[in-house]
Amino acid sequence: MLTGLMILEGVLSIALIAVVVLQSGKSAGLSGSIAGGAESIFGGKGKGLDGILAKATIILATLFGIVTLILVKLMQ
């Protein structure tokens, strides 16, 4: 079980890196990050592939975190 979870962790990490790299940049610099945050708070929607990649990033990051916590608990 431990080996299987470690393999899953590796696959999730590679998939997460790939999804993040495939996303297009929204804006450059600090002002872009502030504007991007405000847009997402006030209901800005990702269109097409960017929206799918954003959702995939959230799902993969959540799974990665859960598997990591399980591995830490099992290693103790």
CB atoms within 10 A of CB 28: 8
- The total number of residues written for the chain in this structure: 76
DSSP letter assigned to residue 42: T
Q: To which residue do tokens 């929206």 refer?
A: 51
What's the pLDDT tens digit per position in 31-71? 555 655 555 555 555 578 889 999 999 999 999 999 999 99
H helices of the chain, in order, are 2-22, 29-41, 49-75
**Mean pLDDT confidence for 15-36:** 75
Query: What per-residue confidence (pLDDT) applies to 36?
Result: 56
Summarize the confidence of residues 6-31 as an average pLDDT.
Answer: 86
Q: Which two tokens stand for residue 9?
A: 């962790």
**pTM of the predicted model as reported, rounded to 2 decimal places:** 0.72
